[in-house]
Amino acid sequence: MAAPARADGLACYSPPMAKTSAQPYRVLARKYRPSDFTGLIGQEALVRTLSNAFAIQRIAHAFMLTGVRGVGKTTTARIIARALNCIGPDGKRTDPTIQPCGKCEPCVSISESRNVDVQEMDAASRTGIDDIREIIEGVRYAPVAARYKVYIIDEVHMLSKQAFNGLLKTLEEPPPHVKFVFATTEIRKVPVTVLSRCQRFDLRRIDSAELAAYLAGLAEKEKVKIEEGALALIARAAEGSARDGLSLLDQAIAHGEGEMITADTVRLLLGLADRGRVLDIFEKLMGGKLSEGLTDLGALYDAGADPLAVMQDLLETTHFLTRVKVAPAAQGFFDGGSGEAKRAADLAAKLSVASLTRAWQILLKGLFEVRDATRPISACEMALIRLAYAAELPPTDKLVKDLLEGGAMPAPRASGASAPPPSFRAPVASGSAMPARAAMPEGAPTASIRNLEDIVALCEPRSELRVNLEHNVHLVHLEPGRIEIRPTARAPRTLANDLQAKLRAVTGERWTVSIANQGGAPTLAEQKQLAKTARFEVVAQEPMVRAVLDRFPGAEIVAVRDVASDDVAPAMPESDS
C-alpha cells in the first residue's frame, strides 16, 4: 500500500511483544491492531488527506470517521490521537506527526487506553446530555500532560438531540488544545450542523483481494499454513471488515489444529456450499428441473451447508449472471477463467435480464424468510420452488401483451425440462378417466422415464400405486433402470415391489428400486401444494395484478387459472367486498 515512508528508516509496523509460552493466546485482531497509519489497510485516501493536513499544519478540530463495522474506525481514531500527541522516542518532538513513534509515553498510554487526556466514550451507552456535559466542562481545562485533549466518541449518531446541541456549542468555538474524533456507522443520523464542523473521512470497505493478501501476510508471520483459496473465502465472508476477517482467520487456525487449512475446512467453518454446486442448483431451477434442484439442495444441506449461505450464494450467482449479461468481462462471484465462470457465462446467455431480475426478487425475499424461519431449510426449499415456477412464466411484458390480445398464458411446469407439452399431459394431470396407456401409446422405453411424474403418468388413474407415488414417495435418485425413493410412514410395505413390477411391465426392462432413510425431494402432492402457493405469490408480483390489489383494498387472489386449459380470465383477483 502507498504508506508514507519513514524518514528514520525504521520499520513502521510495530511487532507484537515477544510472547512466552506462558502468555495466553492473543486473538489476531488485538495482536495486529495497527498502531500507525501504515498498518491500516485499504484506507489510502484517508491516510493521504491526513498526511497533507499534518504536513501543512492545518489539522481539523473535529474528525468524523464513517464506515461499516469492522473497517477500522476506532483504530483510526486512536492512531489520530497518537499522531496528535506523539513526542517521539527521545521526548523532544513538539509538533503532531503522521508517523507516531509507538514508543513514547503518550503513544503507549493511548494505545493502552489509559491516557488521561485522551478520552473514549461510546455514545451507544452514554447518549444523554449529562454525559456530554462532562465533556463540555472538561474542554475548558488544558490537557494534563499531552499536547491535545482528544475526545473519541464512538457511534456518535446515538447521541440524543439535546446532547448534540450541547456538543455543537463546543464545536463552534473549540479551544485550541481540544480535538474531537467521532466515529459512526450511520452518518445520515448525524445532524448536518455537527457534520459541517468536522473533517469527514469515509473509511471504505476493504477490497476482498486486498484483505486476502493482508491475511496471507499475517498467516505467514504466525507460521500458519493456509491455502490461497481458504484465504479468499475468508476475505469474501468478511465483507470488507478487517476485524471480521481476522476473527474468521482465528477460528480457522483453531479449527485447523496445526494442519494445513484448506478451502474445504473454511467452507465447512462458514457453512458454505461449493459454488459449482450452487450454480448446478440455479441452472436446474431456471431450467424447470425442480425435483433435481431440490435433491441437490438436500445433498448440500446434508453435507453441512447453511441454508442461509446457500440463499446468499444463489443471490450472488444471480447477480453475477446479470452482470455477465450486461458486461461480459464482469468479474466477481465466479473467478475469471474458471470452469464455473465459463458455465455461468453460458447460462447467462440463455436467460433474459427480465427472468434474472425476477429471480433476484424471489431469492431476496427468500433470504429474509430463511433468516427468520424456525426451519431455514424448509424456507429455502419454498424459495427454490417459487424460483423454478417463476422461471417458467413468460416475461411480464409478454404476459400483458398476451392478456391484451387474448392469448394464452402457458402453465408453468417445473418437473423436468423434457416434460411433455400441456396438450399431451393434460388428460393425465386432470385425472380424467382416459386410460393412462393412451398417454404413452407406444409403451415407455426406460430412457423416457426421467422423473416421478413420468412414472405416475404410466399408472392407471386412481390406482393405489399412483396415489402412493403422488402422496407417499420422496424421490431421492432416478436414472435409467434404477430408482431410489424414501417412502413416507403411510406408504404400504409392498410399495417398492409394486413399483418395480410396474416399471418392468411398462418398460420391459429390469429396474432396481432401493429405499433411502433420508433425503429426497418433497412428494408430488407437497410440490403441487407448494407450487400453488408459489404461483399465487408470483402472480401477486405481476404489475397488473399488483395494481388491481392496490386499487381494491381487501381483494385477494383466490385462484390462478390458465387460459389454455380453462378458457377463463387468468390471474384475475376476485374482490370479496
Provide, rounded to whole angstroms, the least separation between the CB of residue 107 and Zn ion. 3
Q: Which stretch binds Zn ion (CB under 5 A): 78-86, 209-217, 309-317, 555-563?
A: 78-86
C-alpha span between 108 and 102 (Å, rounded): 6
C-alpha span between 135 and 143 (Å, rounded): 13
Provide, rounded to whole angstroms, the least separation between the CB of residue 83 and Zn ion. 9
- The residue (of 93 and 325) whose beta carbon lies closer to Zn ion is 93
- The residue (of 42 and 88) whose beta carbon lies closer to Zn ion is 88
- The residue (of 81 and 469) whose beta carbon lies closer to Zn ion is 81
> 139 and 170 in contact (C-beta within 8 Å)?
yes
Q: Which stretch binds Zn ion (CB under 5 A): 105-113, 202-210, 272-280, 408-416?
A: 105-113
SS3 226: strand
Provide, rounded to whole angstroms, the least separation between the CB of residue 106 and Zn ion. 6
- The residue (of 14 and 317) whose beta carbon lies closer to Zn ion is 14
Q: Which stretch binds Zn ion (CB under 5 A): 30-38, 79-87, 113-121, 548-556?
A: 79-87
Task: DSSP for 474-489, please give it.
Answer: EEEEEETTEEEEEE-T
Q: Which stretch binds Zn ion (CB under 5 A): 38-46, 97-105, 110-118, 458-466?
A: 97-105
> 247 and 29 in contact (C-beta within 8 Å)?
yes
Q: Cβ contacts of residue 480 below 8 Å, gap of 6+?
A: 446, 447, 449
- The residue (of 33 and 284) whose beta carbon lies closer to Zn ion is 33
- The residue (of 104 and 171) whose beta carbon lies closer to Zn ion is 104
- The residue (of 90 and 405) whose beta carbon lies closer to Zn ion is 90
C-alpha span between 576 and 75 (Å, rounded): 60
Range 267-286, binding Zn ion (CB under 5 A): none
Residue 462 gets the label, from left (phi > 0), alpha (psi -120 to 50) or beta, of left
| Binder of Zn ion out of 107, 246, 356, 491 (CB under 5 A) | 107
What phi, psi does 440 have (nearest 5°)? -130, 70
> 120 and 88 in contact (C-beta within 8 Å)?
no
104 binds Zn ion (CB under 5 A): yes
| Binder of Zn ion out of 3, 46, 86, 233 (CB under 5 A) | 86
Task: Give kind and range of the element (H or E) at residue 295.
Answer: helix 290-302
- The residue (of 6 and 255) whose beta carbon lies closer to Zn ion is 6
Q: Which stretch binds Zn ion (CB under 5 A): 84-92, 126-134, 170-178, 525-533?
A: 84-92
Q: Which stretch binds Zn ion (CB under 5 A): 100-108, 142-150, 173-181, 326-334?
A: 100-108
- The residue (of 99 and 317) whose beta carbon lies closer to Zn ion is 99
C-alpha span between 279 and 275 (Å, rounded): 6
Provide, rounded to whole angstroms, the least separation between the CB of residue 104 and Zn ion. 3
- The residue (of 107 and 391) whose beta carbon lies closer to Zn ion is 107
- The residue (of 40 and 409) whose beta carbon lies closer to Zn ion is 40
The count of chain residues that interact with Zn ion, using the rule CB under 5 A, is 5
C-alpha span between 308 and 142 (Å, rounded): 54
Provide, rounded to whole angstroms, the least separation between the CB of residue 114 and Zn ion. 15
Provide, rounded to whole angstroms, the least separation between the CB of residue 144 and Zn ion. 17
Q: Which stretch binds Zn ion (CB under 5 A): 92-100, 164-172, 320-328, 355-363?
A: 92-100
Provide, rounded to whole angstroms, the least separation between the CB of residue 103 and Zn ion. 6
Provide, rounded to whole angstroms, the least separation between the CB of residue 87 and Zn ion. 6
SS3 507: helix
Q: Which stretch binds Zn ion (CB under 5 A): 80-88, 334-342, 431-439, 548-556?
A: 80-88
> 477 and 295 in contact (C-beta within 8 Å)?
yes
Range 71-74 contact pairs with CB under 8 angstroms and sequence separation of 24 or more:
71/42, 71/43, 71/203, 71/204, 71/205, 71/206, 71/240, 71/241, 71/242, 72/34, 72/40, 72/41, 72/43, 72/203, 72/242, 72/243, 73/154, 73/183, 73/184, 73/185, 73/203, 74/152, 74/154, 74/183
101 binds Zn ion (CB under 5 A): yes
Size (the chain), residues: 577
Which spans of this chain sit near Zn ion (rule: CB under 5 A)?
Answer: 86, 100-101, 104, 107
